[in-house]
Structure 1
């Protein structure tokens, strides 16, 4: 596709906004705040889990830690009205600050970190890293903090001291991934004191933290024709952003009051570590929200069962594009390409939740949106990853379809995808939510 044709086809505004979203979302807590800001502009209002909920039409969302659930109630929704759910996750593999963070050796000040998720360790070497997350305060509140400046760095050993490095690098997670952030003796309490002061807080008021590193290099277009997108946390903030944009578009479209389904966005935390938390897909969070919306509309257990029986979930997460340097690692008959549209992810061992009926639902949504799509299946000789899809299907007993977009360098500090695909995915999700 020529650059001129590509510009006519591709809504660059969406990907520009994705780049901005990635920049304001270095942690799951920031990601839900950024998504909530976009939903507020579309007329959604925040509700608290501790409050009673009403059945008035309109958009609502709740935030629990690094998770967000949002939904739109059409005017005519009855207690048995089914849902259309898009499931995503807000977390990405990275390096996270330990409870006692101040460490060091040989005259260097360092920060103790723990490896979060499946991290290709070498991608975090020699990168300028900032800090982000949340600080817990004595009064029970918490404060977001985002330091977008080069504070830390994990230095690689010089080739002169490791002549075999190009024969295969082996990094020890405990010894070799500790970032430096200055010179001098270990400064007990120094890191949290510094972060607190930068957040405008008294260090003594900070009693806990969930802090993590992030690459301060912003996402950007890449390539001669700017047809690629390189950036951090594409897995899976690209899906969070696409689903948020789609839900906002559905809720503000003409005819929203007559939707046959209740569109829902579920952005979970902790997918990269198994989803076993109060904000993960294995928690009752989504199920409780769906139940409460049925109850608020005067529904009974019978109504809930009827609603869930006709509910479909689209689990949207990143997938693998064919890698030009490692084609033998991919399934020979399935070579998803960037800018080829969303991918339908299939695994007969239920690492993905898609079945034949779910495939039809996905294909119909893409057709209505005018969006091309591709299929992904793993090479039989390679282990297959998984998503929140099978978890959601099993926990709620609802038909679930796994999709995403094709990318390279998944879980790296910086990932790569087609610049068209974020818009194409959002368009397909919008068509799915509209039913």
Structure 2
């Protein structure tokens, strides 16, 4: 047992030595792919914040010629409410002009208000106003306008029910002289309640990038893309040796799955040391230059032991996944193409290029099955110096499954 373990450790040390000799090639390849990931991050930023300004819904208000002052005052007041003003723009016009403008597309909805509208609400006649929407060509704001109208109708119905209930109560118990005062009191209470925005709205900030800033979000995506694509420079280390060499390794008591794990672990160790050296240089530069320090603060919330731990799990997951994809191809060229396509696809499905909030619900739910989800999550832990057990478990699962699939592909490919 000890002899077999020593042989495995010897093989692993040889792989580490070979990986460290590849560092100059790794740096050159990384520099080439840095431009690709930079463009991806730039495109994602533009896509995320390129939303156009939405104009309010144009509503034609048709008031009768004999409309009372209460009706005009009520609609003037409603038009000044912030909630309504942000979504609707009321313009008073004649009925003919309203329908002509709707045909032209300059008006999105028409409200036909009957005579003595407010008085009828107060005395219980309840002559309805008509809301007319176009049959086709309605804007995205039309459903929202319907919701505003329905909400107003519902509030009014509740208020009227309360007032009528008090009127009936006063009439039944001989308190008719108190009806006017009761209605005035209830109108005041209902109106105050309706105008209190906190009753209907609560402020909740929703970020499509989660707890990360925009820079941090795309830094994680760029880092994963960059490292996975730069693994192309390590093909000679990740792909299995020729059949004769592999047979010799197996005769010396090193199973194929162990040799595969040693290969991607050695490459991961080389990348980990390289990243830590770069991080050390950056931290030293930050201590010497305030400008560098402010720049790094936009990316790293903190960097410490937890960051190193998350890197130690994320890197093997990346290279075991790359090794698996390369093992599924017959030649190096096909392996590179497969690795490139699958890397971009997995990062996209994991919500790295376009945040998951903008993806269809089916893709959002299936993200838990995408390996890049846990790798990107681990890199977020690196930036925040935070340990995420779910990401650690996911990365370990990716390593184990990738090693098993690589071994299976090798056995199926054997003559």
Q: TM-score range by the shorter chain?
A: under 0.3
Higher relative contact order (CA 8 A, sep 6+): 1
Specify which structure has the higher proportion of strand: 1
TM-score, scaled relative to structure 2: 0.24
User: If you compute each CA radius of gyration, which structure gives the higher value, 1 or 2?
Assistant: 2
TM-score, scaled relative to structure 1: 0.23
